[in-house]
Amino acid sequence: MRDELDLQDVIAKQARKEEIIFKKGEIIATCPVSSNVEELLKRFEIDPEYWDVTKQTINEWGSAANYNRQCKAWLTAKGDILDWPTFKAQLIEDIKTISPKVKLKHAKKKGKACLEVDIFDLHLGKLGWKEETGENYDKNIARDRFLKAMHALCEYARPFDIEQIVFPVGNDFFNSDKDYPFPQTTAGTPQENDSPWQKSFREGRQLICQAVEFLSDIAPVHIPIIPGNHDRQKSFYLGDVLDVKYENDKNVTVDNTAHPRKYYRYHNTMIGYTHGRPSSEGEQRLLLLMPQEQPVMFSQTKFREWHLGDIHHKRKIKIRDEEDFSGIVLRYMRTLKGTDSWESEKGYHGAIKGAEAHVFNRVHGPVASFNYNVE
């Protein structure tokens, strides 16, 4: 039957029946033109090295004048095809060879305050079109907002005697995590990106390194890597690159441990970092986790805070229970990111976009907060 037909005629008549549906970890591809699964995979540019065909159907029916064909395949994502431990070890050794040795810039500097620069939820690579969302947003706009916010916040903090800087990295710094065969979050939610994933990662790494170089000229910098719900894997990869790049730089330290929550102590102050609430129990669960996970640090500090992202609006909650807590403050940081088509459709435009910074005194704990608002 197929020999009697013009393939181009089939394409013209049945192109509307061609579709590919993405689900979490699964693809369902349907095509009336392909005569076998190999042709179907090629037509949709699906790499069989990354996807397993779990089910397939091929049907033909009708007459020569009204011919119909359907090739359909169900595919699930394979596990990692690389030996990641070996790959990581080789990558680290390669980067170590080019890691410059930098002497401590601030050996004689002894201030009395710590500056935390919080530029959360940048979503680098996210695409927004003004006609659809009310504003344009892409990697160039994201980079511009990021640098303006960082410089402004550091300028605001200039009157303080800064001896240490904490610069959390991650928190959905990247908009997507898994980018093949389509951009998606760590959980598999499709995203609209403006760049190939390789370019986005490279430019993100360059942006963070530019920020670290700037900040380390002011004071030593500590970088906790905070995985987000959009970029859990990419944040870890970026953290490893930073860890190796600054291995021989005495002005920079990186905490890229696999634990989803990071903690930092500055004299009398303890700060916990995580991207969002760990469970349906929300804030209450975080209040319990802090003394459980870091009992020594908790006992040695007076001022304790959680700094979180994800919710994307300014929110501060203070809970005091003399039996269990000694005033743990939860702060939800703001975001610089633009609005995409899905958020616009749902009406999630949010509050004024911005970033913030906080200053902690050795003895008196949190003494100042600064806000940068997107113009």
Q: What is the pLDDT of residues 37-58, one digit of tens each?
A: 888 888 887 878 778 898 999 9
In three-state secondary structure terms, 74 is: strand
- Beta strands 252-255 and 221-226 are parallel
Q: How does residue 179 score in pLDDT terms, banded at 50, 70 and 90?
A: confident
Predicted local distance difference test score (pLDDT) of residue 210: 96
Tally the C-alpha atoms within 13 A of residue 4's C-alpha that lie toward its C-beta.
8
The first and second tokens of residue 299, run together, are 């006992």
Q: What percent of the chain has pLDDT over 90?
A: 42
Q: Quick one: pLDDT at residue 270?
A: 97
pLDDT band, residue 319 (cuts 50/70/90): very low
Instruction: Give the mean pLDDT of the chain.
Output: 83
pLDDT at position 3, please? 45
Q: Once rounded to an integer, what is the mean pLDDT over residues 307-324?
A: 52
pLDDT at 11: 46
Mean pLDDT for 229-252 is 92
Confidence of residue 122 (pLDDT cuts 50, 70, 90): very high
Min mean pLDDT across 100-109, 222-231, 238-247 is at 100-109
Model confidence at 282, in pLDDT bands (50, 70, 90)?
A: low
The letter for the amino acid at 351 is A
Q: pLDDT band for position 161 (50/70/90)? A: very high
Name the maximum alpha-carbon separation found in the chain: 88
Adjacency order of strands within the sheet including 19-23: 19-23, 26-31, 68-77, 51-61
Q: What is the mean pLDDT of residues 74-89?
A: 67
Q: Which of 199-208, 283-292, 325-334 is most confident?
A: 199-208
Contact 27, 19 (CB under 8 A): no
pLDDT at 318 over 60: no
In contact, 254 and 246? CB cutoff 8 Å = yes
Q: Tell me: pLDDT of 295 over 90.
A: yes
Determine the pLDDT at residue 220: 96
Report the DSSP beta bridge partners of residue 115.
Answer: 165, 359
Least Cα distance to 200 among 275, 135, 123, 145 occurs for 123
| pLDDT digit string, tens, across residues 101-111 | 777 777 655 77
The predicted model scores a pTM of: 0.72
Q: What is the pLDDT of residue 290?
A: 93
Which of 76-90, 140-154, 177-191, 297-311 bottoms out in mean pLDDT, i.e. has the lowest? 76-90
What is the residue whose two structure tokens read 């401590």? 104
Per-residue pLDDT for 307 more than 90? yes
Exposed/middle/buried for 314, CB within 10 Å: 0-12, 13-18, 19+? middle
Q: Work out the number of other CB atoms within 10 angstroms of the CB of residue 187.
A: 12
Q: Give the pLDDT band of residue 320 (cuts 50, 70, 90).
A: very low
Q: How confident is the model over 229-238, as pLDDT tens digits?
A: 888 999 999 9
Q: Which of 4-8, 45-49, 62-66, 82-86 has the lowest mean pLDDT?
A: 4-8
What number is the average pLDDT over the span 338-357?
A: 81
Q: Cα(126)–Cα(137) distance, rounded to whole angstroms?
A: 7
Interatomic CA distance for residues 40 and 128, integer angstroms: 31
Q: Which domains does the chain have, with CATH numbers?
A: 2-77 (no CATH), 84-373 (3.60.21.10)
Summarize the confidence of residues 115-142 as an average pLDDT: 91
- Please give the full DSSP string across 226-281, using - where no structure is assigned: E--SS-HHHHHHHHHHHHHHTTTBTTEEEE--S-S-EEEEETTEEEEE-SS-SSTT
**Strand boundaries in the chain, DSSP class E:** 19-23, 26-31, 51-61, 68-77, 113-118, 162-166, 169-170, 221-226, 252-255, 262-266, 269-273, 303-308, 315-319, 328-332, 354-361, 365-373
At 79, is the pLDDT very low, low, confident or very high (cuts 50, 70, 90)? low
Cα separation, 157 vs 56, in Å, equals 62
**234: number of Cβ within 10 Å:** 28
